[in-house]
């Protein structure tokens, strides 16, 4: 599996994602420059966290117009894998690959801490090595991570089983207190209909090494790396 | 020229006379403005220089000492750690969000100007009482500003300290520290070498913001300070992120001769300092400086403190290559002049000369003052206070709970959860510990860092307080398993023109100096911030010590939390009956008096080296410094961090309040597996380190037993109090 990490002006988790794939997974990985219409034939595109274009106007709103995003749209349409983490998730909702939007946390503050997530689906390339309903700990770091969508969209997401991660408590219960940012239905990550595009607010790359806070995020990258190329997606 | 004009520039009559002498004529307004900022305390250190010379600044690891944009220490394998701390007090007191944000932005630029990639930020903050609305406003604004800038630029904020005291009510302190990593061979310096080489302004456009920020920083705050809001700069972390990436990419090309951040005094200081260091001159046409406003005068362009700009001296012929790199990042790089060999800073606007001053006149020729120093009256009274008459309170458990719930001791979680402390994937130990620890990718090494100062001690005895600030910083690093390497300091004081304030400054500096020598931690740079006064009232003297240390083997990193049932708790160091200057005295008795705890630097050194050896050999499982609140609070912190209780007996013949709350120095709590206890104790005996076996880890409560008294507190109750205290003030 060849990975590509997009670099927008203001991306700041690009090097982190690159490090995990290159050094922890030892898989091939390329940087993809925002201004180039070239995905360098990668299999999986990562839109990393950060503050693309300074988050000016609205988070992710400017990045969606980057030349590279034209190619990302084509890639996704052809069934190629795309994962947006944090700011990457925000960009995916702006560009229309995923529904809903990410708005300011009700605390009105940036929040950086660990969260517990329940893995709702393990039949995706991103989550195949997790156990179903597994409870994992992955940190968040965002000011605008509250997932919102209209009722119809939310109903559709639930009906089509497209919620991939939900904030939960230590017993896996979906409670208000376990929800760090007021996301509707405790949504932390969703996928598209075909299951080849994932957006999530928590940062799996930040817990891919034992020394830095566990390996719960490494499983996601390992799932991807091990996914059979051209494999049947859900 | 009218007296009002040079007075407004902060210059004295004698200084004005000197300037006329240097130039051999009357200066024009632009020139006077340039002298005004360059000879301000903030840029020239004219009042502090003589004292700062006493600091030890050399050592086998010192690659770059004071005088450059930041200090550099050798950490082996050809790598260096680049670090510096700087104050942004006055801007933050006027406009907390932007003041703090630009403080962070400025110190980050100091690091990447050296060619280093910034890998972490720390800070040291002081505000008035949490009960005051204004303090809460400043506190929340400053924290949001630090978060806003640091998170966006993607440099983790990994640690720091926050204190609350009424003396900072109007004049809060915001000290920002940044750490970078560099291959020593790649170090870039702020030098304008090679006459004929092009001078470029890169990064953001120049506006009217921040004009006279440096002068503003060199006077007391007063009612009119609010009017100086335009002297506070506005930060753009996105712009700085681009500038950072572009500059680091540029340095790799080898086209850079010298580079300097346009910080305080903007174009003026960067150009004159770069020329002065290289013994050259510089000629600039400021009509070429990209501007975001129309109609700016030469005076405004030279003194603007617009953020996110750098001055670059490139190799002749490399102009296009430099511009291409900046264009890639969407930034401008404009040639505005060249290096000359005449030693003059020549500022032109088109063909017209707007200013012409010998570069060294602005830097080296600034007068140095030996200020009058006098021991303040308050000290004698405070030190002589008779503490033996204090009533002994019965319910010690309640006292511990009260202390855990005071802003100065309580968890700073409310603060650091707003900081992205993980980005960069190096944070092994984040905020909330004795010291933060970063791994160095591609090696087995780690860097530990901390900021420290107990201003109450410094207030009660500046010399001893200065010593303790250094000793405590080093002790914090040792508790993380790191060897302390070096210091950057941020010396925050009142008005140095007052002999009492200058005495505090001199004494504290002498104490710092002494401690740095004994503990072998040279000073590689820093910052002096005077005039921290409002309406004639000074802040507590607050010399903040930023310190970095090295872990040769990151797998040996140590944390403070108690680990397992039945581990043995051992207290290293001596507990004394000294309650002067303690948090207990301040919080419980409303007193800030007595002598601060005594310190024996040699004993401190031995205890630190011994602890480090125990950690390196894997003999201990936790280590924690005893600081504010004394032994009882330190034990509580170990329990809370480990999520486990402890059973401790304090058998010394001493009154309970002293046993529990005295802040005796050079004490470290360690735990060891019981099978390793004998080995640990024999090490301590060999090194002649005094110790006491206190008890063992276990259960869900912290139990402390003395002769005739007992404390029992559930760890979960303590934690609730400890973690909720600041949020309780801020989120209600």
User: A157 CA to chain B: closest CA distance, Å?
Assistant: 30
DSSP B275-335: HHHHT-EEEEEGGGS-BSSSS--HHHHHH---SSEEEEEE-TT-HHHHHHHHHHTT-EEEE
Residue A110, chain B, CB below 8 Å: the answer is: yes
DSSP B445-496: -EEEEEEE--HHHHHH-HHHHHHHHHHHHHHHHHHTT-EEEEEEEEEE-S-T
**Residue B235: what pLDDT?**
86
Residue B643, chain A, CB below 8 Å: the answer is: no
In this complex, do A10 and B554 lie within 8 Å of one another by their Cβ atoms? no
Average pLDDT, integer, range B285-307: 92
**Is the per-residue pLDDT at B86 higher than 70?**
yes
In this complex, do A51 and B154 lie within 8 Å of one another by their Cβ atoms? yes
Rounded percentage of chain B residues whose pLDDT exceeds 70: 97
Average pLDDT, integer, range B168-187: 96
Would you say B505 and B493 are in contact if contact means Cβ atoms under 8 Å apart?
yes
Residue A31, chain B, CB below 8 Å: the answer is: no
In this complex, do B424 and A143 lie within 8 Å of one another by their Cβ atoms? no
**Is the per-residue pLDDT at B214 higher than 70?**
no
Residue of A nearest to B246 (CA): A9
Q: Which residues of A touch B236 (CB under 8 A)?
A: 54
Residue A20, chain B, CB below 8 Å: the answer is: yes
State how far the alpha carbon of B270 is from the alpha carbons of A218, B274, B309, B323, in Å.
Answer: 46, 6, 10, 20
**Residue B221: what pLDDT?**
67
Taking only residues 204 to 263 of chain B, the set having a beta carbon closer than 8 angstroms to any beta carbon of chain A reads: 236-239, 241-242
In this complex, do B418 and A19 lie within 8 Å of one another by their Cβ atoms? no
Would you say B290 and B205 are in contact if contact means Cβ atoms under 8 Å apart?
yes
**Residue B503: what pLDDT?**
97
User: B446 CA to chain A: closest CA distance, Å?
Assistant: 12
Confidence of residue B673 (pLDDT cuts 50, 70, 90): very high
**Is the per-residue pLDDT at B230 higher than 80?**
no
State how far the alpha carbon of B511 is from the alpha carbons of B24, B190, B405, B518, B576, in Å.
Answer: 43, 31, 31, 11, 21
Helix (H) or strand (E) holding B135: helix B133-153
**Is the per-residue pLDDT at A60 higher than 60?**
yes
**Residue B1: what pLDDT?**
67
Higher pLDDT pick, B141 / B228? B141
Residue of B nearest to A208 (CA): B425
Interface predicted TM-score (ipTM) of this complex, two decimals: 0.96
**Sequence-distant (≥ 6) Cβ neighbours of residue B457 within 8 angstroms:** B464, B465, B468, B469, B581, B596, B597
The CATH class given to the A3-226 domain equals: alpha beta
DSSP B149-202: HHHHHT--EEEEEEEE-GGGSSS-EEEEEEEEEEEGGG-------STT-EEEEE
Residue B154, chain A, CB below 8 Å: the answer is: yes
Nearest CB to B422 within list A10, A15, A206: A206
Residue A86, chain B, CB below 8 Å: the answer is: no
In this complex, do A110 and B418 lie within 8 Å of one another by their Cβ atoms? yes
**Residue B10: what pLDDT?**
85
DSSP code at position A22: I
Structure confidence by residue, pLDDT tens digits, B534-579: 988 999 999 999 999 999 999 999 999 999 999 999 999 999 999 9
In the block, residue with structure tokens 């304090």? B650
Nearest CB to B423 within list A16, A109, A213: A16
Lowest-pLDDT range of A15-29, B207-221, B413-427: B207-221
Confidence of residue B388 (pLDDT cuts 50, 70, 90): confident
Average pLDDT, integer, range B391-419: 95
Structure confidence by residue, pLDDT tens digits, B457-513: 999 999 999 999 999 999 999 999 999 999 999 999 999 999 999 999 999 999 999
State how far the alpha carbon of A222 is from the alpha carbons of A22, A218, B66, in Å.
Answer: 12, 6, 47
B624 carries an active-site annotation? no
Nearest CB to A51 within list B144, B238, B424: B238
**Residue B7: what pLDDT?**
85
Model pTM score: 0.95
Average pLDDT, integer, range A67-93: 98
In this complex, do A213 and B422 lie within 8 Å of one another by their Cβ atoms? yes
**Residue B592: what pLDDT?**
94
User: A185 CA to chain B: closest CA distance, Å?
Assistant: 23
Higher pLDDT pick, B189 / B492? B492
Please report, for chain A, the start and end positions of each structural domain, with discontinuous segments joined by +. Answer: 3-226
Average pLDDT, integer, range B226-230: 60
In this complex, do B151 and A113 lie within 8 Å of one another by their Cβ atoms? no
Would you say B61 and B184 are in contact if contact means Cβ atoms under 8 Å apart?
no
**Residue A234: what pLDDT?**
41
3-state DSSP of B344-410:
EEEEEECCEEEEEEEHHHHCCCCCCCCCCCCCCHHHHHHHCCCHHHCCCCCCHHHHHHHHHCCCCCC
Q: Which residues of B touch A144 (CB under 8 A)?
A: none
Rounded percentage of chain B residues whose pLDDT exceeds 90: 86
**Residue B307: what pLDDT?**
87
DSSP helix/strand/coil, A82: strand
Q: Which residues of B touch A7 (CB under 8 A)?
A: none
Question: Cβ-count burial of B653 within 10 angstroms (0-12 exposed, 13-18 middle, 19+ buried)?
Answer: exposed
Average pLDDT, integer, range B300-315: 92
B165 carries an active-site annotation? no
> In DSSP terms, which residues pair with A141 in a beta bridge?
A112
User: A131 CA to chain B: closest CA distance, Å?
Assistant: 26
Average pLDDT, integer, range B514-529: 97
Confidence of residue B389 (pLDDT cuts 50, 70, 90): confident
**Is the per-residue pLDDT at B46 higher than 70?**
yes
**Residue B94: what pLDDT?**
93
> How many other β-carbons are positioned within 10 Å of the β-carbon of residue A183?
23
**Is the per-residue pLDDT at B18 higher than 80?**
yes
Average pLDDT, integer, range B423-431: 97
**Residue A227: what pLDDT?**
86
Residue of A nearest to B238 (CA): A54
Taking only residues 122 to 141 of chain A, the set having a beta carbon closer than 8 angstroms to any beta carbon of chain B reads: 139, 141
In this complex, do A206 and B153 lie within 8 Å of one another by their Cβ atoms? no
Structure confidence by residue, pLDDT tens digits, B595-628: 999 999 999 999 999 999 999 999 999 999 999 9
**Is the per-residue pLDDT at B215 higher than 70?**
no
In this complex, do A19 and B237 lie within 8 Å of one another by their Cβ atoms? no
In this complex, do B422 and A55 lie within 8 Å of one another by their Cβ atoms? no
Nearest CB to A112 within list B148, B422, B426: B422
Average pLDDT of chain A, as a whole number: 95
**Residue B227: what pLDDT?**
63
Structure confidence by residue, pLDDT tens digits, B103-118: 999 999 999 999 999 9
Residue B347, chain A, CB below 8 Å: the answer is: no
Residue of B nearest to A23 (CA): B442
Q: Which residues of A touch B153 (CB under 8 A)?
A: 12
Most distant CA pair in chain B, distance? 87
Residue A36, chain B, CB below 8 Å: the answer is: no
In this complex, do B241 and A9 lie within 8 Å of one another by their Cβ atoms? yes
Average pLDDT of chain B, as a whole number: 94
**Residue A165: what pLDDT?**
98
Catalytic residue IDs of A:
86, 203, 205
In the block, residue with structure tokens 């942004």? B88
Structure confidence by residue, pLDDT tens digits, A133-189: 999 999 999 999 999 999 999 999 999 999 999 999 999 999 999 999 999 999 999
User: A22 CA to chain B: closest CA distance, Å?
Assistant: 12
Residue B430, chain A, CB below 8 Å: the answer is: no
Confidence of residue B42 (pLDDT cuts 50, 70, 90): confident
Lowest-pLDDT range of A70-79, B119-128, B200-209, B612-621: B200-209
């Amino acid at each position: 599996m060849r990975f590509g990490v997009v670099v927008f002006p203001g991306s700041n988790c690009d090097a982190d994602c690159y490090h995990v794939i290159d050094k922890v997974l030892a898989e091939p990985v390329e940087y993809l420059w925002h201004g180039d219409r070239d995905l360098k034939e990668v299999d999986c595109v990562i839109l990393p966290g950060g503050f693309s274009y300074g988050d000016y106007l609205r988070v992710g709103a400017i990045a969606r117009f980057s030349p590279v995003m034209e190619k990302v749209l084509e890639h996704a349409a052809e069934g190629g894998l795309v994962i947006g983490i944090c700011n990457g998730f925000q960009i995916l909702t702006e560009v229309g690959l995923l529904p809903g939007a990410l708005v300011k946390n009700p605390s009105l503050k940036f929040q950086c801490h660990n969260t517990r997530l329940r893995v709702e689906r393990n039949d995706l390339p991103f989550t195949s090595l997790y156990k179903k309903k597994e409870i994992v700990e992955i940190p968040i770091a965002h000011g605008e991570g509250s997932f919102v969508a209209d009722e119809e969209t939310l109903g559709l997401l639930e009906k089509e089983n497209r919620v991939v991660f939900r904030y939960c408590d230590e017993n896996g219960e979906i409670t208000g207190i376990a929800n760090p940012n007021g996301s509707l239905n405790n949504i932390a990550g969703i996928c598209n209909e075909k299951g080849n595009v994932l957006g999530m607010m928590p940062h799996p790359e930040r817990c891919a090494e034992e020394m830095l806070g566990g390996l719960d995020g490494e499983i996601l990258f390992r799932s991807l790396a091990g996914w059979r190329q051209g494999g049947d997606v859900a | 020229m009218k007296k009002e004009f040079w007075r407004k520039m902060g210059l004295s009559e004698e200084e004005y006379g000197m300037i006329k002498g240097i130039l051999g004529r009357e200066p024009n307004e632009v020139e006077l403005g340039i002298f005004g900022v360059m000879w301000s305390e903030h840029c020239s250190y004219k009042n502090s220089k003589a004292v700062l010379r006493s600091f030890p600044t050399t050592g086998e690891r010192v690659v770059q000492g004071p005088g450059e944009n930041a200090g550099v220490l050798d950490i082996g394998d050809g790598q260096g750690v680049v670090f510096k701390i700087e104050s942004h007090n006055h801007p933050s007191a006027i406009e907390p969000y932007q003041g703090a944000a630009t403080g962070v932005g400025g110190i980050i630029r100091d690091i990447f100007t050296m060619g280093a990639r910034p890998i972490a930020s720390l800070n040291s903050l002081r505000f008035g009482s949490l009960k005051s609305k204004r303090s809460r406003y400043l506190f929340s604004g400053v924290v949001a500003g630090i978060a806003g800038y640091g998170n966006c630029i993607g440099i983790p904020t990994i640690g720091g300290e926050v204190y609350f005291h009424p003396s900072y009510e109007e004049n809060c302190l915001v000290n920002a520290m940044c750490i970078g990593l560099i291959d020593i061979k790649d170090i870039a310096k702020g030098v304008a070498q090679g006459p004929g080489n092009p001078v470029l302004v890169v990064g953001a456009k120049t506006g009217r913001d921040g004009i006279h920020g440096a002068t503003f920083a060199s006077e007391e705050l007063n009612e009119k300070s609010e009017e100086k809001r335009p002297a506070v700069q506005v930060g753009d972390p996105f712009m700085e992120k681009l500038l950072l990436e572009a500059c680091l990419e540029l340095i790799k090309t080898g086209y850079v001769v010298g580079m300097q951040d346009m910080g305080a005094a903007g174009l003026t200081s960067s150009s004159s300092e770069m020329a002065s260091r290289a013994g050259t001159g510089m000629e600039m046409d400021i009509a070429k400086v990209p501007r975001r406003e129309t109609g700016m005068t030469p005076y405004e362009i030279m003194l603007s403190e617009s953020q996110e700009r750098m001055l670059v001296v490139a190799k002749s012929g490399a102009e296009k290559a430099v511009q291409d790199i900046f264009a890639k990042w969407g930034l401008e790089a404009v040639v505005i002049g060249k290096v000359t060999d005449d030693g003059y800073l020549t500022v032109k606007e088109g063909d017209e000369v707007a200013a012409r001053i010998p570069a060294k006149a602005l830097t080296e020729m600034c007068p140095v003052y030996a200020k009058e120093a006098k021991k303040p009256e308050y000290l004698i009274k405070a030190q002589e206070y008779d503490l033996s008459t204090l009533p002994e309170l019965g319910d010690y458990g309640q006292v511990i709970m009260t202390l855990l719930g005071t802003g100065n001791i309580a968890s700073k979680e409310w603060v650091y959860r707003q900081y992205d402390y993980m980005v960069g994937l190096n944070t092994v130990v984040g905020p909330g510990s004795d010291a933060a620890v970063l791994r160095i990718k591609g090696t087995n090494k780690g860097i530990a860092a901390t900021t420290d100062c107990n201003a109450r001690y410094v207030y009660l005895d500046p010399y001893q307080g200065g010593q303790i600030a250094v000793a405590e910083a080093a002790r914090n690093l040792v508790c993380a398993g790191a060897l302390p390497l070096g210091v950057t300091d941020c010396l925050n004081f009142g008005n140095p023109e007052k002999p009492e304030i200058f005495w505090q400054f001199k004494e504290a500096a002498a104490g710092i100096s002494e401690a740095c020598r004994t503990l072998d931690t040279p000073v590689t740079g820093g910052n002096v911030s005077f005039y921290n006064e409002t309406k004639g009232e000074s802040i507590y003297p607050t010399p903040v010590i930023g310190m970095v240390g090295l872990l040769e083997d990151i797998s040996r990193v140590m944390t403070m939390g108690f680990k397992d049932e039945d581990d043995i708790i051992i207290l290293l160091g001596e507990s004394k009956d000294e309650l002067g200057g303690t948090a207990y005295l301040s919080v419980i008795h409303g007193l800030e008096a007595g002598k601060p705890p005594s310190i024996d630097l040699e004993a401190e050194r031995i205890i630190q080296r011994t602890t480090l050896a125990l950690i390196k050999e894997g003999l201990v499982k936790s280590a924690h410094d005893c600081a504010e609140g004394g032994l009882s609070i330190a034990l509580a912190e170990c329990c809370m961090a480990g999520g486990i209780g402890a059973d401790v007996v304090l058998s010394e013949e001493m009154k309970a309040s002293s046993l529990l709350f005295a802040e005796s120095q050079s004490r470290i709590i360690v735990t060891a597996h019981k099978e390793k206890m004998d080995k640990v104790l024999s090490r301590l005996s060999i090194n002649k380190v005094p110790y006491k076996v206190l008890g063992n880890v276990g259960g869900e409560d912290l139990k402390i037993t003395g002769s005739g008294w007992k404390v029992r507190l559930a760890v979960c109750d303590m934690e609730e109090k400890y973690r909720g205290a600041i949020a309780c003030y801020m989120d209600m």
